[in-house]
C-alpha cells in the first residue's frame, strides 16, 4: 500500500508490537504526531522534557527486556535527548529514538531548529540513520529495532526530515533483514568453552564475576544454575544485582569502589576469574596493574570489542551468555568437583566475618542504610527499585535485598543524575502490578522534577524516596576525604518544601525524621497508590563505605572514615 512517511512510522511501530511511546512533539516531527493522534494501537506518554522521554523509555526497556521507544523533535528537542542516548549506550539499553529533522532542502542552511543530529549521536548510539527517501523508511525502521535488540543491545537513532514524513511511497515491512557487516555471534566456540571448563576444573580459588550482560541476555536463571552446580562463589557488579538472589549462600556481594570487603578481597585473591557479561569497568577494577594479578581470566561476552579491551584475558569466548553458559554447564556437569573449592569458600567466609557490610545505628539520626533495608523488609520482591546517582545509589546496591533480575533500574556507566524519576515512570508503565520506587537524593530529584506532572496526569504512581542530606552527597564525601573538607558548591541547605511541591503537582508528600514516621509514610503512599514524595531527613555527613580511592587497589580499601 502507498502511505505517507509519517504513516509508515506508525505502521512500523505496530508491526514491532510497540505498546508505549514516550515523547515530546515539535515542528519537525508534527506529521508523525498527527498520525499518532489518529491511531489507537499504542499509547503515547507526553513527558515534560525530552531527556525524561528517553530515560522513561530506558526504564521501560530495562524492566521489560523490550525495545523502548522515544520520539523528539529537531534542534533543542534532540540535544535535550542526547544525555538519554549516551546513558543507554553506556548501559547497553535497547532503544529506538526517532527524531524529526528540518526538510531536506534546508539541511545545512542553519535553518530554524536545525542541528546535525546524526553527527551528534554517532558516538553515543549503536547505529544511526538519516532517512533521505521515504522508500527507505520501512527497511530503516525494521533494521533499527533489530540492531537495538540483537547482539549487545543499544540505542539506535533514526532522524527523519519533515518532508520525508510527508512523502507518499509503498510500505512493505515484509522484506527480510540483511546486514552484511552485522552478524552477532550467538553460539560460543566449543573448543574455547571446553578449555575454559578445564581451567575451572583445575582452579583452586575460582570466582564468578557477573556483569550486566547476565541481565541483558536473560541468562539469570542459567547463571544461578551454573553457580549452584559448581559451588563456586560469585560477585555481582552494580548492573548485575538481582542475577543471584540476595540470600544465595554463594553470593559474596558487589565488588569495586564501594564493594564489600569480602568481594574485593575475593577479586584480589582468586586464581581464576570467570567473567560473565562484565566489561571490567574502572569502578570495579581499581588499579589495573594490581587487579586480579594472581588469576587467569575467562571472559564471556557477546561483544568481541569488549574482550581484552581493558584487561587481557586468557580464555576469550564470544557469544550470547545464555547459550554459552548452557554449553559450559553441559561440559562442567561431569568434571567439576565441588569439594575442591571448599577451602576457598572458607577463606571467603572469613573475609566476610572479618569486615561485614554494615553501618552504625544512631538513636538521634536516621541512617540511609536503614531506610533502604526497611523498604526491602516492607516491599521486597513486590517493588521495582529505580535510583538516581550518588550516595543513595551505592547504599541501595549494598543494602537492598534484590531477589530477581531487572529489579534494580539505574544509570551505571554514564552516572546520570535525574535518571531515576523518569525511568521509574517507564518502569511502572512496563510493570504496573509492582510498586515503582525511586530512591533518590535531594540533588538528583530536582534535575527532572517536572516529571511530577507527567506521572500525575497519566496516573502513574511512582513513590520517590528522597534521602535528603542537604548536600550533593557523593561529591561532598570526596571533598571530605580528599580535599580537606573544602565543601565547594555542594551545600544544598536551600531546598524547596518537597511536601508542598508534590501537592502543587497533584501528588502527595511526606516529611520523615524517625523510623516510625518512615514506616507510616511508605505504607500510606503504597496504600493510596498515587504519585508520592517522601522527604527522609538523614544524617548529613554519612559516608558510603567501604571505599577504594580512585586509582587504588581493590585490596586497599577505606573501611570507615574517622575524624582527624
Q: What is the pLDDT along the chain (564 residues), one digit of tens a residue?
A: 899 999 999 999 999 999 999 999 999 999 999 999 999 999 999 999 999 999 999 999 999 999 999 999 999 999 999 999 999 999 999 999 999 999 999 999 999 999 999 999 999 999 999 999 999 999 999 999 999 999 999 999 999 999 999 999 999 999 999 999 999 999 999 999 999 999 999 999 999 999 999 999 999 999 999 999 999 999 999 999 999 999 999 999 999 999 999 999 999 999 999 999 999 999 999 999 999 999 999 999 999 999 999 999 999 999 999 999 999 999 999 999 999 999 999 999 999 999 999 999 888 889 999 999 999 999 999 999 999 999 999 999 999 999 999 999 999 999 999 999 999 999 999 999 999 999 999 999 999 999 999 999 999 999 999 999 999 999 999 999 999 999 999 999 999 999 999 999 999 999 999 999 999 999 999 999 999 999 999 999 999 999 999 889 999 999 987 765
Q: Identify whether 474 is a catalytic site residue.
A: yes
Q: State the catalytic residue, choosing from 257, 265, 474, 557.
A: 474
How many other β-carbons are positioned within 10 Å of the β-carbon of residue 352? 17
Q: Identify whether 113 is a catalytic site residue.
A: yes
Q: State the catalytic residue, choosing from 62, 126, 142, 162.
A: 162
Q: Which three cell numbers stand for residue 77?
A: 528537542
What does CATH list as the number for 2-170?
Answer: 3.40.50.970
Give dist(CA 401, CA 421) in Å, integer: 21
> What is the CB-side half-sphere exposure of residue 61 using CA atoms within 13 A?
32
From 290, 291, 261, select the one nearest 275 (Cα to Cα). Answer: 291
Q: Which CATH architecture has domain 190-354?
A: 3-Layer(aba) Sandwich (3.40)
Q: State the catalytic residue, choosing from 39, 112, 202, 330.
A: 112
pLDDT of amino acid 563: 67
Asked if 77 contacts 100 with a C-beta cutoff of 8 angstroms, the reply is yes
From 389, 312, 438, 436, select the one nearest 544 (Cα to Cα). Answer: 389
SS3 345: helix
Give dist(CA 17, CA 269) in Å, integer: 48
Q: Identify whether 479 is a catalytic site residue.
A: no
Q: State the catalytic residue, choosing from 113, 192, 373, 495.
A: 113
Fold match flag (2-170 vs 368-537): yes
Give dist(CA 352, CA 346) in Å, integer: 10
Specify the DSSP element, H or E, that contains 91: none
CATH match of 368-537 with 3.20.20.80? no
Q: State the catalytic residue, choosing from 16, 35, 50, 236.
A: 50
Hey, where are the domains in the chain?
A: 2-170, 190-354, 368-537
Q: Identify whether 417 is a catalytic site residue.
A: no
Q: Identify whether 50 is a catalytic site residue.
A: yes
Q: What is the dihedral of CA 441, 444, 449, 451, to 10 degrees?
A: -100
Amino acid at each position: 500500500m502507498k502511505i505517507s512517511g509519517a504513516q509508515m512510522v506508525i505502521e512500523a511501530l505496530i508491526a514491532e508490537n510497540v505498546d508505549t511511546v514516550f515523547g515530546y512533539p515539535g515542528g519537525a516531527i508534527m506529521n508523525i504526531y498527527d498520525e499518532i493522534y489518529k491511531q489507537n494501537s499504542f499509547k503515547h506518554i507526553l513527558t515534560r522534557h525530552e531527556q525524561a522521554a528517553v530515560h522513561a523509555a530506558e526504564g521501560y526497556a530495562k524492566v521489560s527486556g523490550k525495545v523502548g521507544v522515544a520520539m523528539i523533535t529537531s534542534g533543542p528537542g534532540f540535544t535535550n535527548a542526547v544525555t538519554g542516548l549516551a546513558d543507554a549506550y553506556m548501559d547497553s539499553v535497547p532503544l529506538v529514538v526517532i527524531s524529526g529533522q528540518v526538510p531536506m532542502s534546508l539541511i545545512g542552511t542553519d535553518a530554524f531548529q536545525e542541528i546535525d543530529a546524526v553527527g551528534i549521536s554517532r558516538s553515543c548510539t549503536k547505529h544511526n540513520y538519516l532517512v533521505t527517501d521515504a522508500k527507505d523508511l520501512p527497511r530503516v525502521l525494521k533494521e533499527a529495532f533489530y540492531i537495538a535488540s540483537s547482539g549487545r543491545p543499544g540505542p539506535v537513532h533514526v532522524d527523519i526530515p519533515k518532508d520525508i514524513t510527508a512523502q507518499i511511497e509503498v510500505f512493505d515491512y515484509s522484506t527480510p533483514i540483511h546486514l552484511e557487516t552485522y552478524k552477532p555471534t550467538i553460539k560460543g566456540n566449543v573448543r574455547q568453552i571446553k578449555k575454559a571448563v578445564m581451567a575451572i576444573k583445575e582452579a583452586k580459588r575460582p570466582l564468578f564475576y557477573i556483569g550486566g550482560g547476565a541481565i541483558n541476555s536473560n541468562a539469570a536463571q542459567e547463571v544461578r544454575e551454573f553457580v549452584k552446580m559448581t559451588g563456586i562463589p560469585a560477585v555481582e557488579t552494580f548492573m548485575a544485582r538481582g542475577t543471584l538472589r540476595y540470600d544465595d549462600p554463594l553470593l559474596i556481594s558487589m565488588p569495586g569502589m564501594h564493594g564489600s570487603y569480602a568481594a574485593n578481597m575475593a577479586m584480589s585473591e582468586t586464581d581464576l576469574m570467570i567473567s560473565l557479561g562484565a566489561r571490567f569497568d574502572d569502578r570495579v577494577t581499581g588499579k589495573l596493574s594490581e587487579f586480579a594479578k594472581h588469576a587467569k581470566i575467562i571472559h564471556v561476552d557477546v561483544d568481541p570489542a569488549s574482550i581484552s579491551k581493558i584487561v587481557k584475558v586468557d580464555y576469550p569466548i564470544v557469544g550470547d551468555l545464555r547459550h554459552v553458559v548452557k554449553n559450559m554447564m553441559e561440559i562442567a556437569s561431569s568434571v567439576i568437583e565441588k569439594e575442591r573449592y571448599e577451602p576457598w569458600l572458607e577463606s571467603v567466609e572469613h573475609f566476610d566475618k572479618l569486615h561485614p557490610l554494615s553501618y552504625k545505628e544512631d538513636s538521634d539520626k536516621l541512617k540511609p542504610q536503614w531506610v533502604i533495608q526497611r523498604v526491602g523488609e516492607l516491599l521486597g520482591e513486590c517493588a521495582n527499585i529505580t535510583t538516581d546517582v550518588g550516595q543513595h545509589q551505592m547504599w541501595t546496591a549494598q543494602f537492598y535485598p534484590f531477589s530477581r533480575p531487572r529489579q534494580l533500574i539505574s544509570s551505571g556507566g554514564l552516572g546520570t543524575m535525574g535518571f531515576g524519576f523518569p525511568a521509574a515512570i517507564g518502569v511502572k508503565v512496563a510493570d504496573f502490578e509492582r510498586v515503582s520506587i525511586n530512591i533518590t537524593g535531594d540533588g538528583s530529584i530536582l534535575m527532572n522534577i517536572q516529571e511530577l506532572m507527567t506521572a500525575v496526569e497519566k496516573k502513574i504512581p511512582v513513590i520517590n524516596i528522597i534521602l535528603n542530606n542537604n548536600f550533593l552527597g557523593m561529591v561532598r564525601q570526596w571533598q571530605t576525604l580528599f580535599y580537606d573538607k573544602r565543601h565547594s558548591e555542594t551545600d544544598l541547605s536551600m531546598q524547596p518544601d518537597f511536601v508542598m511541591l508534590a501537592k502543587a503537582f497533584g501528588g502527595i508528600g511526606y516529611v520523615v525524621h524517625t523510623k516510625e514516621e518512615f514506616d507510616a509514610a511508605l505504607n500510606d503512599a503504597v496504600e493510596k497508590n498515587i504519585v508520592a514524595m517522601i522527604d527522609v531527613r538523614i544524617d548529613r555527613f554519612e559516608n558510603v563505605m567501604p571505599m577504594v580511592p580512585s586509582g587504588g587497589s581493590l585490596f586497599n580499601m577505606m573501611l570507615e572514615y574517622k575524624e582527624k
